[in-house]
Structure 1
Amino acid sequence: MTHSPQSDLIGRSHRFGADKTVTNYGGGNTSAKGQGVDPSTGKDVELLWVKGSGGDLGSLTESGLAVLRLDRFRELSTVFRGPEHDDEMIDFFDYVRHGQGGAAPSIDTSMHALVEADHVDHLHPDAGIAIATAADGEALTAEIFGGKVAWVNWRRPGFQLGLDISALQKANPELIGVILGGHGITAWGETSELAEQNSLWIIRTAEDYIASHGKKEPFGPAVSGFQPLPEEERHSKAAALLPHVRSLASTDKPQVGHYIDSPEVLDFLASREHPRLAALGTSCPDHFLRTKVRPLVLDLPATASIEDAIARLKELHVEYRADYQAYYDAYASTDSPAIRGADPAIVLVPGVGMFSWGADKKTARLAGEYFVNAINAMRGAEALSTYQPIPDSEKFRVEYWILEENKLRRMPKPKALATRIALVTGAAGGIGKAIAIRLAAEGACVVIADLDLQKAQAAAAEIGNTDVAIGVRADVTSESDVAAAVDAAVLAFGGVDLVVNNAGLVLARSLLNTSVADWDIQHNVMAKGSFLVSRATARVMIDQALGGDIIYISSKNSIFAGPENLAYSAAKADQAHQVRLLAAELGGDGIRVNGINPDGVVRGSGMFANGWGAKRAAVYGVPEDELGEYYAQRTLLKREVLPENVANAVFVLCSADLSHTTGLHIPVDAGVAAAFLR
C-alpha cells in the first residue's frame, strides 16, 4: 500500500473515531504536514492537511480535509493583532488555502499549523477532559505525566491558542502534548505512528491514574428512592413521560428525541452529588454546544407517580427557560446572535434515564452521547479532585460565537417533514413500504410496523440506519401489540406525529361464500385495527400538544359497489367513516384526519400477490398478469395506480400545504366515476 501524509492521517483518524474512549462523534481534529506541488510554479511547497469543519474522524475521507499552504499560514502571525481580534483570523484562512483548499478549515486549524510537528492530534477523551476540568488540573498534569505533557489554561480555540501551544513546545522540546484546560488534549509526533502513540499514551496514562488513585464513589453514595427502576417498569415510565417532555422541549421549535438508560446515566442519577454536578453543566465546547450549558433535572425520586413527575417537569421547565434567558441576557452584547431557544436539550429523570433532543434523531442521539461523555469526565474529575468546568461567561462566548452562528447558517434547509415521527402499519412491503420510503425521503423518522418483524426490520434497513427508520412487530388486531408498537416508536424517537393506517388484507368472496371467519378477520384488521392504532397514537399526540396527522388508506371500494367483495368493502367503508368521526373529534387538538381511496394497486402489492389478484382476474375474466392493465383501462385517465402514487398522496396530505384540511378523502384511482365523492 502506498503511504502518503493524507492516507496516514485518514487511517489514524479512523482508528481514533472508532474508539469512544478516545473521542466522540464529530469531536476533535487531526492533521498532517507534507510536500506538495504548486501547479502555478511547478515548485514543491509544504502543505497542511487537517480535518475540516464539521467532519467526523471515524468517517473522514480525503474530501473532508482542508488543505492549506503552511508557509503562508505561518506568515499570518505578522498580521495577528492579538487575542481580542482572534475571530478575524478565520477570514484569512481562505487566502492561504492550496488551490480550492478542500473542506472549510475549522477554528482549530491554527493549533495544527503552528505546532512544529508533522502530525498533530486534538482529541476529547473522557479521561483527558477529566484532568482538564479538575480544580487542580495543572498540578495533576505535572504529577501524572511528568515533563512530557504540559498544562494550558483555558482559552477559546483560535490563533492565540495555537501560538500558546507552539511557544510551550519550543520552550520544552521534551513535550509530546498538552492538556487544554476545560477542553481536552493535543498531542503530536514526527510520524503518524508516533503522534498516535503519544495521543494514546496520554489517554491511557490518565485512565490508569484515575483508576488507581481515584475515589471509589466519586459521585457519593446512592440515595434511597433514586435507584434505577426495573427495566420493564423503567421503559414503561419513559414511554409515558416522553410525549409530555417532548411538548416541553419543543416549546420554541419541534424536536426529535432519544432515550438513554445506560448504567453511566442511571448510576449518576442515583448518586447524592448529581444535582450539584448537573447544575455545573458540561465544559468541553463540543459537549455544551450540543447539550446546552446544563440539563434539566427532575428532582423527584424514581418512585414518584407519572402524574407528579409530569407536573414537576412543567414547573422545572418554566424555571429552566427563565434561567436560560437570564444566562443569555447576562452575557449577550449588541452584536451577539439572537437567542436560539430556551428549551433544554437534555432532560434527566432519576430511575428512568436521559431524554435528549435535537432537530433530528442523529442530533438528539449525539447530544445524549455527549452528555454521557460529560458524566464520565465528571466522574474522573471528582475521583481525583473537584469538577470545575469553564465559567458560563466562556460557555456563552463559544455557544454564541459568530463562527458557530455562521456554521449554523451554512446548514441545509430542513426537509418538509423534518422533526416529524411517522408510524406506518403494514409497511414491510407494497403500499405501506412505498409510503415509508417517501416519508423518510421528506425528512421524517419512520417506524415500520408489520406482522412480520424480520420483514419490517429489513424494510427499515433499506431506508436507512436507526436514526431514520426502525422496524417493529405489530398485529393491529391486538390491543397489547399496538400499545407495544407505539411505545417502541416513542422510545425510539420521542413521540409520534404522523400515523398511516395501511395494514389490510382481502378475501374476495360472494355473499353466500363469505364465512363469519372471513368477515371477522377483515373487520378485525382494517376496522378494529385502525381504531386501535388511532386511539393509541392520538393519546401520544394529545400529550405532545404538537398536533398531528392520522391518515387512513381506505379504498375506492368504500364507495364503489363491486361484485363478490362484501367483507373487504364493508370494512373499508368502516375505515372511511372513522376518518370523518375522528376528524370531528380530534380537530380541537390540532390533529388532522384524512383518508386515501386507491384502486387496484396490483404491482408491488402484497395483497394481490397472495392470491387475491388471481381471484379478481377470474371475476373480471382476464389473465392475472393483465389485471393491472384491466384496471387502468376502466379509469378515466387510463393509467395504472402504483404504490408510489398512494405514497405521494400521503405526503401531500401531511404537508404544510394542506395544513387546513381535515376529514377529506383523496381518490387515487386514475378516475373511477362510480367512486366519485358525493
Structure 2
Amino acid sequence: MTSHPAVDALLGRSNRLGSDPRTTNYAGGNTSAKGSTTDPVTGGTVDLLWVKGSGGDLGTLTEDGLAVLRLDRLRALKAVYPGVEREDEMVAAFDHCLYGKGGAAPSIDTAMHGLVDAAHVDHLHPDSGIALACAADGEKLTAECFGDTVVWVPWRRPGFQLGLDIAAVKEAHPQALGCVLGGHGITAWGNTSEECERNALHIIRTAETFLAERGRPEPFGRVVEGYAPLPEEERRERAAALAPHIRAIASRDRPQVGHFTDTDAVLDFVSRAEHPRLAALGTSCPDHFLRTKVRPLVLDLPADAPLDAAVARLRELHAAYREEYAAYYRRHATDGSPAMRGADPVIVLVPGVGMFSFGKDKQTARVAGEFYVNAINVMRGAEAVSAYAPIEESEKFRIEYWELEEAKLRRMPKPKPLATRVALVTGAASGIGKAIAHRLVAEGACVVVADLNGENAEAVAEELGGPDKAVAVTVDVTDEQQIAAAFREAVLAFGGVDLVVNNAGISLSRPLLETTARDWDLQHAVMGRGSFLVSREAARIMIDQKLGGDIVYIASKNAVFAGPNNIAYSATKADQAHQVRLLAAELGEHGIRVNGVNPDGVVRGSGIFAAGWGAQRAATYGIEEEKLGEFYAQRTLLKREVLPEHVANAVFALTGGDLTHTTGLHVPVDAGVAAAFLR
C-alpha cells in the first residue's frame, strides 16, 4: 500500500507510459510528482518530490524505485549551484535533500523535476519526439508541429543546468504544456497526474501524426540489389552460421552474450541505400548510444556473399572499427577521462540477415538491440521530414565517458562466476540435468534446456526465469539434424555456446544373455553416439568463437566399476569416459577443456530410475525399490545418499573458473565407492 495519493497516481501513470514502446524505451525517461505530507518529527507540513530513481524502469516501477526529496532543500540548491562546468557536483548534493530513508538513488534528471514549477512532470524518450529533436531543422519543425504549445530547448547534456533551462522555459511560456529537448527527448508537465499524462501523450501522438503526414516515402532510399532480406529459413540459417564469428568480434576485449533481431524495421534499414551513411552518423539520444555505443559495425557485402568471404570481411571491418574507436577516444579524452572501456562493437548489422547485439547478459544484449531499433525509427522520422542530425561527436563522448556514468558502473555488483557463459545441457528436463541447469543459471550462465521431452523442457526453462535466462529445445541426441537445429537455436538465442553438458541418457539393466542387439544399439546411440555428436557440434561453434569452452560428460561410476546385469549401460559409460580423454587431448589447443563427472546411485528425481531402471536395479540387489537410495548410500564410504544437486555442484566446480588448468579429469560423485577409485 503506497503512502500518499500522489504516489499512487505517479506509479499508475509511470507504468502505463513505460509499458508502451511508442512512449519510451526500456529504463528510459523519468516521471515525478510533488505533494505535501505531515512530517513525523515536527508535526508540520513538508513539501516532497517523488521521482523515479536512477536505473529504474517506468513500466515496472514500484514505490521502492522512487527517490524522495524535500522540495525546499532541492530548490535551495540553486543558491549554491557552481555553474555548468561543475554541475556534476550537484548529484552528490541531492543526497542532502533526501527525506526519511530517501528511497532509490536520485538520478541526474532529478533537478529537472524539482525545479520545474508543476505538480507533475514526465521526461520521456519517444521515437517520434526524438526524430524531431534530431532533425537538422528540429526547432522549425517543432514550431510547425505544435505552434506555441511545445517549446524547443537546444541540446544540453542532462544535469542541473538543463533543469534550470526547462524551468525557465515553463515560466516564460505559460501556455506551453511541454518541450522538445534537442538531441534528446521530450518533457511534459501538468497540474494533475492526469493532465501531465495527457500532455505527454499529446506531444508523442501529435509528433507521430506530423511525421506520417509530412514525411516523404522511402526516407532510407532505394533497396540495394543483393541487400534485400533473405527468405526466413535461409536467413536464420545464415544468422546461425555467422553468430559465433560475430560473437568472437564482439568479445575481443571481454566475453559478451548475444541477441539476434530480424524484425521488419531492421531488415528494411539494412537493405536501403542510405543505411551506411546513417549508421556512420551514430545514434543520438543519450539513452541510445550509452546502450549501443556511438555507432554500429556494418557488413558491406550482399546477403548471398559466400560465408567465408563474409567472415573474412567482418574481421577486416572489426580491425578498422577498433582503430576508429580508439581514435575517437584519443580525440576527446582528457586527463580526467575514465580509461577506454573497450573497442568492440555492441551492434553488428548484416544486410539481408538482421542485427546482432551484445551485452554482459542476455537482457543487456536484448535491450541494446531494442534501443538500436529505436534509433532506426528516429532516423526514419528525421529523414522523412528533414535530415538526421545527431549531436556532435564530442558531446557523445562527454556522455559515454561521463564520470557519473563511470561511478554508476563502479557500483555494479561483481559478476557471478558464470556470467557471459552460454550453456547447453542435454537431458535437462529432469533429474541431474535439471539440477545442473538450475545451478548454472544461479551462477550467472544462460542455459539451453535440451531434452527429448519438449513440454518438460519448456517448464524447466520457465522455472529458470524465461528467455533472458533460459530457452528450451526439443532434441533427440541420436539425430544429427536435431542436434544441429538445437545448436542453431542456442546461438540465435544467446550468440553462441561456451559450456556443454552431455547428460542425456537411458539405462537398460539386463543380464548378458537377455541383452538384445537392439538394447545395445539403443544404449550406445543415446549416450555413446549422442555424446559424440553433441560434442562435435559444440566444438565447431567454440572454435569459431575463439573463446575457449567447457565440455562436461556426466559419465558414471559404472565407467570403471564392473557390476552385474549391466553390460550395455556400463560399456557405454566407459565409451563416454574415454571420449573425455580423447577430446581433452584434441581440443586443448583451442582452449576447450573436457572433463567428466562419475556419479553413482542418484535415485531421487531421476527420470532414468523412475522409468524402470530403479525397479530393475532393486530386483538385482534383492531390495524394495523405495529403499534403493538408502541401499546405495550404505554401500559407500561416507554413508551418504547422492542427490542431483551434488552432481550439479561438481559441474560448477569444473567450469566455474577455479580449475582453469584442468582438463581430461573425471570427478567421482558417489559418496565414496572404493572399487570405482580412479587409478
Q: Which TM bucket (shorter chain)?
A: over 0.9
Matches within 5 A, 1:85-124: 85-124=86-125
Measure how far apart 1:42 and its partner are: 1.5
Residue matched to 1:521:
522
* Mapped partners of 2:394, 2:519: distance in 1: 70
Residue matched to 1:36:
37
Render the CA deviation track for 1:266-317: whole Å, top value 9, x for unaligned.
Answer: 0000001000000001000000001000000001111111111100000000
| Matching residue's letter, 2:482 | D
Residue matched to 2:404:
403
Percent of counterpart pairs with the same letter?
70
Residue matched to 2:413:
412
Matches within 5 A, 1:163-174: 163-174=164-175
| Matching residue's letter, 2:68 | V
Measure how far apart 1:476 and its partner are: 0.3
Measure how far apart 1:418 and its partner are: 0.2
Measure how far apart 1:141 and its partner are: 0.5
Measure how far apart 1:14 and its partner are: 0.5
* Mapped partners of 2:344, 2:542: distance in 1: 20
Residue matched to 1:660:
661
Residue matched to 2:63:
62
| Matching residue's letter, 2:55 | G
Matches within 5 A, 1:264-279: 264-279=265-280
Render the CA deviation track for 1:603-623: whole Å, top value 9, x for unaligned.
Answer: 010000011111111110111
| Matching residue's letter, 2:247 | R
Residue matched to 2:614:
613
* Mapped partners of 1:44, 1:337: distance in 2: 44
Residue matched to 2:583:
582
* Mapped partners of 1:421, 1:37: distance in 2: 52
Measure how far apart 1:38 and its partner are: 2.3
Decide which moves more: 290-299 or 32-41. 32-41
Matches within 5 A, 1:439-450: 439-450=440-451
Measure how far apart 1:100 and its partner are: 2.0
| Matching residue's letter, 1:174 | Q
Residue matched to 1:234:
235
Structure 2 counterpart SS, 1:656:
coil
* Mapped partners of 2:111, 2:141: distance in 1: 27
| Matching residue's letter, 1:40 | V
* Mapped partners of 1:82, 1:598: distance in 2: 67
Measure how far apart 1:460 and its partner are: 0.5
Matches within 5 A, 1:133-532: 133-532=134-533
2:571 is the alignment partner of 1:539: no
| Matching residue's letter, 2:191 | E
Render the CA deviation track for 1:79-136: whole Å, top value 9, x for unaligned.
Answer: 1122112111111101111122110000000110011111100000000000000000
* Mapped partners of 1:433, 1:208: distance in 2: 51
Measure how far apart 1:162 and its partner are: 0.7
* Mapped partners of 1:171, 1:547: distance in 2: 61
Render the CA deviation track for 1:561-601: whole Å, top value 9, x for unaligned.
Answer: 11101100011110000000000000000000000100010
Residue matched to 1:644:
645
Render the CA deviation track for 1:51-97: whole Å, top value 9, x for unaligned.
Answer: 00000001101010000000111111001122112111111101111
| Matching residue's letter, 1:497 | D
Structure 2 counterpart SS, 1:48:
strand
Instruction: Give the unaligned 5+ runs of structure 1.
Output: none
Structure 1 counterpart SS, 2:102:
strand
Structure 2 counterpart SS, 1:424:
strand
Structure 1 counterpart SS, 2:330:
helix
Residue matched to 2:557:
556
* Mapped partners of 1:172, 1:183: distance in 2: 20
| Matching residue's letter, 1:664 | L
Measure how far apart 1:453 and its partner are: 1.1
* Mapped partners of 1:113, 1:641: distance in 2: 60
2:24 is the alignment partner of 1:6: no
Structure 2 counterpart SS, 1:512:
helix
* Mapped partners of 1:551, 1:443: distance in 2: 18
Structure 2 counterpart SS, 1:549:
strand
* Mapped partners of 2:282, 2:38: distance in 1: 47
Structure 2 counterpart SS, 1:657:
coil
Measure how far apart 1:640 and its partner are: 0.5
Name the TM-score, length of structure 2 as normaliser. Answer: 0.99
| Matching residue's letter, 1:372 | V
Render the CA deviation track for 1:357-408: whole Å, top value 9, x for unaligned.
Answer: 1111111000000000000000000000000000110001101001100110
| Matching residue's letter, 1:425 | T
* Mapped partners of 1:98, 1:350: distance in 2: 52
Render the CA deviation track for 1:639-663: whole Å, top value 9, x for unaligned.
Answer: 0100000000000001211000000
Residue matched to 1:596:
597
* Mapped partners of 2:588, 2:186: distance in 1: 55
* Mapped partners of 1:493, 1:81: distance in 2: 47
Residue matched to 1:50:
51
Measure how far apart 1:41 and its partner are: 1.2
Measure how far apart 1:36 and its partner are: 1.9
Residue matched to 2:670:
669
Structure 1 counterpart SS, 2:572:
helix
Render the CA deviation track for 1:622-649: whole Å, top value 9, x for unaligned.
Answer: 1111000000000000001000000000
Structure 1 counterpart SS, 2:88:
helix
* Mapped partners of 1:37, 1:162: distance in 2: 27
* Mapped partners of 1:40, 1:76: distance in 2: 23
Name the TM-score, length of structure 1 as normaliser. Answer: 0.99
Question: What is the aligned-residue RMSD (CA, Å)?
Answer: 0.8
Render the CA deviation track for 1:236-276: whole Å, top value 9, x for unaligned.
Answer: 11111110111111110000000000000000000010000
Render the CA deviation track for 1:300-350: whole Å, top value 9, x for unaligned.
Answer: 111111111100000000110011001111111001100000000000000
| Matching residue's letter, 1:511 | L
Measure how far apart 1:489 and its partner are: 0.4
Measure how far apart 1:452 and its partner are: 1.2
Runs ≥4 in structure 1, deviation > 4 angstroms?
A: none
Structure 2 counterpart SS, 1:343:
coil
* Mapped partners of 1:40, 1:308: distance in 2: 72
Measure how far apart 1:39 and its partner are: 2.5
* Mapped partners of 2:343, 2:428: distance in 1: 37
* Mapped partners of 2:252, 2:43: distance in 1: 58
Measure how far apart 1:37 and its partner are: 2.5
Structure 2 counterpart SS, 1:637:
coil
* Mapped partners of 1:121, 1:170: distance in 2: 17
* Mapped partners of 2:16, 2:101: distance in 1: 28
Render the CA deviation track for 1:137-166: whole Å, top value 9, x for unaligned.
Answer: 000000000110000000001111111111
